Structure 1
Amino acid sequence: MNFVLEAKGWRVAELARRTKTNPATYSKFRNDPDNKAMLEDATIARIEEATGIKAYERSVTGKPRGLAEQESARYDAEPVQSIDGAVQALKAGRNGVDPWVLRSRCLENIGYMPGDVMMVDLNARPEAGDVVSAQVYDRTGRAETVFRIFEDPFLIAATMDANLMKPLLIDNDRVIVRGVVIASFRERRAA
């Protein structure tokens, strides 16, 4: 289950919503230090159906179609030491703030560059012109976290990279807005 959550970039609540399962089922399983809790076969089947990931799989290849490259990565996967204090200070005591590392040139024309740490407030409601984090799902249910400018009902890139120029229609099925970027940090780049 931990692999599924990480591969999808979901929280337990999102998995529970998509599988129509009580979140306590998953929390109990994840928080069992003795590994005595077991998921029922029906629950495992619902996870497979909702995620497109086979039970007990430990790796997923490929990426959603229509995206040029892996656009982002969880900050925890690659902490940047010189700005870690700033990231932790902004996150302090706020469960709804997630740091992500931008990996693509999708917002270069408005000043966001690959390597920037994007602070995403999952509780903020986007307004026109906000930079947002979104999940884009391919036909198999695999998700990619992307960053775009919110122009309801579309998400648009701010780049000269033709592979990223296609607007994404927010349909709350294939494209779901997760949160609003409230700050970004960039490590010093020596000349």
Structure 2
Amino acid sequence: MYRVVENVRRKHLEWVNAILDFKDWKRARLSREAGINPSTLTKFVNDTSGTATLSTEVIEKIAAVGGIPPFERKPPAMQRGLAEDEATHYDLVIESRDSAGTLRKMLVELKSMRNGIDPWILRSRGLETAGYLPGDVLVVDMNATPSNGDVVCAQVMNAMGQAEILFRVYEHPFLVAASMDNSLRRPLLVDNERVQIKGVVVTMMRERSANAA
């Protein structure tokens, strides 16, 4: 029985240490981010009996902020730099969905005239009541400084340590959705660590429907 507990403890300890290395945090920082009492980790790490383990509740709280799944030693492999759930990057080389490639040509010309321009295809309903619909191309100025009321491009680190791109309205110091979808309406605090503004939307382009006259 002791051997089983010892193995469990070792897995818990290796996992916590992997998170500390991955995040470059001290135990106090991990405790604060996870919302647990600092003494919980201290007692666990310094236990001399070799029997102390983490409770399920503590494991769940640490997993929510640690970026590494429970008892793994590395973060999940990422095939792309961004987990683009709410928006996808508009590839100026291959995107030409309208027959003449008019939109692509306009974006190429715009990028040639203005530094820091980056186009994205909106995939979510996060801005629908502000007039931005899924499929719209949002042109982002990565060099612009956001002001209250601007639609911005933001990078958010999820619980697995992966970066996601989303678009929201900036209402200092929060990002808020303009949507009827309640699941998208939770404000996000811009802390420049977990949530960072990457640029400001300067224009929107929408391809004309093939059925339009």
TM-score (norm 2): 0.57
Work out the CA distance in 1 between the residues paired with 2:76 and 2:141.
28
Aligned partner of 1:171 in structure 2 is 191
Aligned partner of 1:157 in structure 2 is 177
The match for 1:180 among 179, 188, 200 is 200
For the residue of structure 2 that corresponds to 1:182, the secondary structure is: strand
Aligned partner of 1:37 in structure 2 is none
For the residue of structure 2 that corresponds to 1:124, the secondary structure is: coil
Residue identity in the other structure for 1:139: A
The match for 1:130 among 150, 153, 164 is 150
Q: 1:176 to 1:160 in 2, by over 3 A?
A: same
- Decide which moves more: 113-122 or 86-95: 86-95
The answer to whether 1:116 aligns with 2:136 is yes
The answer to whether 1:73 aligns with 2:88 is yes
Q: Offset at 1:59? A: 6.4
Q: Offset at 1:95? A: 3.7
Identity of aligned residues (%): 47
Work out the CA distance in 2 between the residues paired with 1:140 and 1:94.
35
Q: Offset at 1:110? A: 1.0
TM-score (norm 1): 0.63
Q: Offset at 1:139? A: 2.4
Residue identity in the other structure for 1:72: A
**RMSD after superposition:** 2.8
Q: 1:76 to 1:172 in 2, by over 3 A?
A: same
The match for 2:123 among 103, 106, 117 is 103
Structure 2, unmatched stretches of 5+, are: 1-22, 25-67, 69-73
Map 1:74-93 to 2 at 5 A: 74-76=89-91, 79=95, 80=97, 81-93=101-113
Residue identity in the other structure for 1:130: D
Q: Deviations over 1:91-150 (max 9, x none)?
A: 114341101100011101011010111111011000000000000101222011000001
The match for 2:160 among 124, 127, 140 is 140
Work out the CA distance in 1 between the residues paired with 2:102 and 2:136.
12
For the residue of structure 1 that corresponds to 2:91, the secondary structure is: helix
Q: Offset at 1:52? A: 3.8
Matched positions, count:
136
Structure 1, unmatched stretches of 5+, are: 1-17, 20-48, 64-68
Residue identity in the other structure for 2:196: I
